[in-house]
A = this chain, B = another copy of it.
Amino acid sequence: MIEMGETEAEPHQLGGMPAPDQQVENFRHTRRARRTEIAEDYVELIADLIDSGGEARAVDIARRLGVSHATVIKTVGRLQRDGLVVTKPYRAIFLTDEGRRIAIWSRQRHELVVKFLLAIGVSKEVAYADAEGIEHHVSAETLAAFERVVGEINGRRSASGH
């Protein structure tokens, strides 16, 4: 029935959906992003804890995330295995260069997503909540579009006095 060639005979585009081949790629891409969400949340949080309190301890991470400390310790072990974090038994958790790079990028992206949602009129509470999930799936191109929109809205706001 379906040949590899796919020359013509465009199969039903169904309300603007991407072609099947492209859709597979999109799903794959999203699954990949889902696997890195947790890591991004952790390094971002660890960076915040270090910046504000000087060090990141497992118990603080657990409290901020709302999970058990055992979960945190196991996850931190995986992050260390993956080279994002360094820690020694009974000691605080530190970021590697790679981990810090990801943390900085994640934080910038996170803050821009929040700023964007606020700019288009989303309430503060919902903006924070939605950004937590959305941020991990925003590509550089979309992020740039967000930034443009924020600039436009702020520009128009200051132009109208106030």
How large, as a class, is the contact surface on chain A?
35 or more
With a CB–CB cut-off of 8 A, which chain B residues contact A16?
Answer: 111, 114-115
A47 CB to nearest B CB, Å? 10
Q: Given the complex of chains A and B, what is the CA–CA distance between A5 and B141 in angstroms?
A: 24
Given contacts A7-B157, A64-B27, A136 and B133 within 8 Å (CB-CB): yes
Cα distance A16–B118 when bound, in Å?
A: 12
Asked if A145 is at the interface (CB within 8 A of a chain B CB), the reply is yes
Residues of B within 8 A of A129 (CB): 25-26, 29-30, 139
Chain A 135-149: CB-based contact to B (< 8 A → 1; otherwise 0): 011110110011011
Residues in B with CB closer than 8 Å to A126 are 139, 141-142
CA distance A135 to B64 in the complex (A): 25
Verify B7–A162 contact, CB threshold 8 A: yes
Q: A7-B157, A107-B15 given as contacts; is B128 within 8 A of A145 (CB)? A: no
**Residue of B5, B48, B114, B133 touching A122 (CB-CB under 8 A):** B5
* Further contacts, 13 of them, CB under 8 A, given A3-B120, A27-B66: A3-B121, A4-B153, A5-B121, A6-B119, A12-B52, A22-B128, A24-B64, A25-B129, A30-B132, A117-B145, A120-B145, A120-B146, A134-B138
